[in-house]
């Protein structure tokens, strides 16, 4: 995977998560987004037509690797169709970016905190 590709997918995911996650912006401000488990702590806005886990609703791209994703460099990552499952070593682009502080991670945090 290339950095431009990671940034593209993580930017889209952050934008959607900003909209669909936590109905109140102050809840997003408290969340630091410093690890890959933030989806487990964020709640949905709750008024969507279909109940879909946020990681399925917001992520357009999932990544995996032959070894643990969070121990990998970008060029070792493989794109797959998902869904997110840390037990199966499947993460989203935004999870990787924020947990590893890679790419435009500071911009993504600003988006999520706005």
pLDDT at 50 (0 to 100): 79
Cα 105 to Cα 67, 81, 99: the distances in Å are 23, 22, 9
Question: What's the average pLDDT block by block, 10 residues per block, for the chain (114 residues)?
Answer: 97 94 75 93 80 91 97 97 95 98 97 90
- Where helices occur in the chain by DSSP H, the ranges are 3-20, 25-30, 54-58, 93-100, 105-113
Q: Is the pTM of this model over 0.75?
A: yes
Query: What is the C-alpha separation between 23 and 45, in angstroms, rounded?
Result: 4
pLDDT at 52 (0 to 100): 87
**Residue in 74, 78, 82 with CA at minimum distance from that of residue 102:** 74
Cα 48 to Cα 18, 52, 56, 64: the distances in Å are 14, 9, 13, 29
CA atoms within 13 A on the CB side of 8: 7
């Amino acid at each position: 995977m290339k950095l431009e590709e990671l940034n593209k997918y993580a930017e889209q995911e952050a934008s959607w998560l900003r909209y669909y996650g936590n109905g109140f912006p102050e809840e997003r401000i408290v969340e630091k987004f410093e690890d890959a488990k933030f989806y487990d702590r964020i709640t949905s806005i709750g008024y969507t037509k279909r109940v879909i886990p946020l990681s399925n609703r917001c992520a357009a791209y999932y990544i995996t690797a032959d070894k643990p994703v969070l121990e990998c460099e970008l060029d070792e990552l493989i794109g797959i169709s998902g869904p997110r499952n840390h037990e199966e070593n499947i993460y989203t682009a935004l999870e990787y970016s924020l947990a590893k502080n890679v790419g435009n991670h500071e911009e993504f945090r600003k988006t999520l905190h706005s």
